[in-house]
Structure 1
């Protein structure tokens, strides 16, 4: 997606007022549509009703509904209450509520809020309409203009003032777009009394040439420490190479600086995939609710949201790999961290984050993760006395530490699991047979029952101590 920002110059102030009135009506239409969507109205009914209410044509009304749907879906994805969305900006609205702001400062703040709330207009592109029907780019002898539909066969022409981008004039790019008849969307925004236009063109991606048939690169994003871990596999899921890319710049700095570095790190990942000729496997873009991912799910997801825009970075990787003709595969991230920690970190002597990237890569290839036999042999071989001792240790840990609900649930599950082993006479060496536990429950249980005693205060970074147990089945005092 390419976005070109321009400023609109009105040759007649009356024309500007007509466009501002259109933007006000469209903004009201979008807010009204949002409220009706919350009440359960469907798009077709809304489209019919909105045209007459706000004096908009069919396409403007439909675009307002589409934008309202986008706001609603975004609110739900971020776990916000859709009924509490504030058009115009929550931060600005909050500042207006503060009584210590008054005079010119208050008036300026109020103008900014009203501009963001009422100064909007969106018109989507359409290939069948040679680009865009309501807001069309037109090239004339005296410059490039935007023709805005303001009523039944009534148009306002405003001159497009563009700057420079990568040594090529933006105005020339807009002229090429106009002549090629490709679809482009236009969004108008009112800022400091001026109207700005944002032209968006959807990219046409090349055919996918690099696929997973030669292997993949698994990507795991980590909030602490800030880094991208990656693991390369062959077509069968065997580990070939691995590494990590530190991201110290995303720990602090302003929004623009972070956005710049997100693109740089996304380019680094795509460069690795291109040079190795491998597809990329990433976690699904949807951030899971806390408590559903296994290792550090709640805390990790919150840090990811706030520290370096996890979703934004993955989106950039997706865009770049498509431009390079590289296949990108999204997988469910559940339990990738804990499986990488317990199974592959000690086996290959890599970090738990690189282990998680390896699990993601294998999941992208459709490889199923099996529980190592020696782990089950270890739990099955524990005597009643050893099980009781381990259970008491876990209970003591609970009493001595202030744990979150998620960790308490894990520990409770571990104790239940150990009790189920105690009650079995002649335990069989099959994972969780005859119990109500799933294969994923085992990984959580094993982390609590075995890893926690190794490092009671925090999850260790080094899991080499588990290597002999995992590979050779050697263990001592549990």
Structure 2
């Protein structure tokens, strides 16, 4: 949906009062309909009664019932009591109840609450009516106007002052909407004594011409440090090229500034896909880390959400790609970093972020990842029948260095997953291609075991950034922290 905001400029005081009276009656109708819906009334019985009570036509009444029903369903989905809804805002209502607020601050709060409670009007668009029947955009030689039906087949014309935003003339957009005769919804709101109109129209995307048949570009976003990596693959999933886009502007600044740069980075990715004629594969992102206390209150969790909104950036990439006729594929992001770090980073001698983007691109094409043969030999020779044995092995490999709490939790998680899957003592049984997208099978558990048993001995005290040491493991099966002049070692033996 595209939404355009415009300010209403009334040519007479009488027209303004008629509009405010219409908004007051519609807001009352919506609140009345909400109460009746709580009592079990249906839409058809309400529609006839409300027209006479509030002196509104059937379209206005139908829109009021629809809005009331949306509020009711939203309360139920959030698990709130629908009988305790406060129209106008509970926060403002609670402030007004405080007795220590009086005088000018109290009057200001009361006016703001009444505007939110009584200054609303919503009118849906209709394709059969070529736009919107009750609130229609009218373009003539004098400018752009909004024709409002105030009842009894009487209309008032109000000038629209849309202004500019990011180099685009909003009034020209409204004129295009009126000329195309597409259905658009109009919502009027009263703010600080002014009436604003919000026009929403469904965006029509062109036919998708750039598809996965030509290959894909995988996108991986990273918060620390702030950057976005991309990898180009052909239709068979073969590695072609890669790149990195630093995003330092997302670390600080106000919300408008960060929003501007998110659009710029999204445009950059879409231009790359358009130039290479490749589909775009993004993560199906669902951040589940709620912080240490489970309420998004952790310091790292808060910072990620405040300064680096993954979801907003990927959403912009999807929208811009659809406007250019580029196919957008959503891939399951589970274990993409682990697979990329263990398998592809040492093969192509790239960073784990680029390797993760490569896994995302391949997964978007429907390809599965097999565990390398040397890794499977190591897993089959490793006894993971007990948690203590896995801890003992990892501790031995890291020269008895005290394991960090995060590493111990990782080991405990792996053991719970393995034991719950019913693996036999002494062996990890799973198919080689156990990383199919959309599922968390035993294959994912194997990749997690590899991360604990292979990466932790190599880098127990810090995050492993240089993946070149893993290449000799893939080739010879060596594991541990290699030293100059040390004899060759094999997986599971240690140093």
Is this a same-fold pair by TM over 0.5? yes
Kindly state the Cα deviation for residue 254 of structure 1 after the two structures are TM-superposed.
1.1
Kindly state the Cα deviation for residue 235 of structure 1 after the two structures are TM-superposed.
0.4
- Whichever of the two has the greater Rg, that structure is 2
1:413 matched residue in structure 2: 416
Query: Structure 2: how far apart are the matches of 1:124 and 1:62?
Result: 9
2:469 matched residue in structure 1: 465
Query: Structure 2: how far apart are the matches of 1:18 and 1:62?
Result: 21
1:284 matched residue in structure 2: 284
1:453 matched to 2:461? The reply is: no
1:395-406 alignment to 2 at 5 Å? 401-403=404-406
2:231 matched residue in structure 1: 231
2:352 matched residue in structure 1: 352
1:181 matched to 2:157? The reply is: no
Query: Structure 1: how far apart are the matches of 2:426 and 2:476?
Result: 27
Query: Structure 1: how far apart are the matches of 2:362 and 2:443?
Result: 17
Question: Does the 8 Å CA contact 1:210/1:327 hold for their aligned counterparts?
Answer: yes
* Residues 143-168 of structure 1 deviation map (CA, whole Å, 9 limit, x = unaligned): 43211223353433322223356777
Query: Structure 2: how far apart are the matches of 1:8 and 1:259?
Result: 27
Query: Structure 1: how far apart are the matches of 2:392 and 2:421?
Result: 11
1:260 matched to 2:263? The reply is: no
1:121 matched to 2:121? The reply is: yes
Change (3 A) 1:298 1:103: closer
Change (3 A) 1:279 1:37: farther
Question: Does the 8 Å CA contact 1:414/1:445 hold for their aligned counterparts?
Answer: no
* Residues 427-459 of structure 1 deviation map (CA, whole Å, 9 limit, x = unaligned): 8796599xx971122222322333233334554
Identify, as 1 or 2, the structure richer in helix.
1
2:484 matched residue in structure 1: none
1:375-454 alignment to 2 at 5 Å? 375-382=375-382, 390-392=390-392, 401-403=404-406, 407=410, 410-413=413-416, 416=419, 422-423=425-426, 438-454=442-458
Question: Does the 8 Å CA contact 1:337/1:353 hold for their aligned counterparts?
Answer: yes
2:209 matched residue in structure 1: 209
Query: Structure 2: how far apart are the matches of 1:41 and 1:470?
Result: 68
Identify unmatched segments of 5+ residues in structure 2: 291-295, 435-439, 480-488
Q: Describe the SS at the equivalent of 2:183.
A: coil
1:325 matched residue in structure 2: 325
Query: Structure 2: how far apart are the matches of 1:332 and 1:320?
Result: 21
Change (3 A) 1:135 1:417: closer
Q: Describe the SS at the equivalent of 2:469.
A: helix
Query: Structure 2: how far apart are the matches of 1:405 and 1:7?
Result: 59
2:485 matched residue in structure 1: none
Query: Structure 2: how far apart are the matches of 1:405 and 1:28?
Result: 59
Kindly state the Cα deviation for residue 100 of structure 1 after the two structures are TM-superposed.
7.2
Query: Structure 2: how far apart are the matches of 1:458 and 1:74?
Result: 45
Query: Structure 2: how far apart are the matches of 1:456 and 1:195?
Result: 62
Query: Structure 2: how far apart are the matches of 1:413 and 1:398?
Result: 24
Task: State the TM-score, normalizing by the size of structure 1.
Answer: 0.80
| More divergent stretch after superposition (238-247 vs 396-405) | 396-405
What is the RMSD of the two structures over their aligned residues, measured on CA atoms? 4.4
Number of paired residues?
466
1:194 matched residue in structure 2: 194
* Residues 254-307 of structure 1 deviation map (CA, whole Å, 9 limit, x = unaligned): 12111111110100101110111111111226x25449xxxxx99898665433
Question: Does the 8 Å CA contact 2:125/2:133 hold for their aligned counterparts?
Answer: yes
Query: Structure 2: how far apart are the matches of 1:338 and 1:69?
Result: 45
| More divergent stretch after superposition (330-339 vs 126-135) | 330-339
Change (3 A) 1:69 1:352: farther
Query: Structure 2: how far apart are the matches of 1:96 and 1:400?
Result: 55
Question: Does the 8 Å CA contact 1:410/1:445 hold for their aligned counterparts?
Answer: no
1:6 matched residue in structure 2: 6
Q: Describe the SS at the equivalent of 1:219.
A: strand
Query: Structure 1: how far apart are the matches of 2:75 and 2:457?
Result: 41
Query: Structure 2: how far apart are the matches of 1:166 and 1:419?
Result: 58
Question: Does the 8 Å CA contact 2:29/2:54 hold for their aligned counterparts?
Answer: yes
1:134 matched residue in structure 2: 134
Kindly state the Cα deviation for residue 213 of structure 1 after the two structures are TM-superposed.
0.8
Identify unmatched segments of 5+ residues in structure 1: 292-296
Change (3 A) 1:389 1:24: same
1:93-104 alignment to 2 at 5 Å? 103-104=103-104
Kindly state the Cα deviation for residue 408 of structure 1 after the two structures are TM-superposed.
7.1
Change (3 A) 1:46 1:417: same
Question: Does the 8 Å CA contact 2:60/2:122 hold for their aligned counterparts?
Answer: yes
Kindly state the Cα deviation for residue 57 of structure 1 after the two structures are TM-superposed.
4.1
Query: Structure 2: how far apart are the matches of 1:85 and 1:99?
Result: 22
Query: Structure 1: how far apart are the matches of 2:333 and 2:72?
Result: 25
| More divergent stretch after superposition (364-373 vs 297-306) | 297-306
Change (3 A) 1:236 1:90: farther
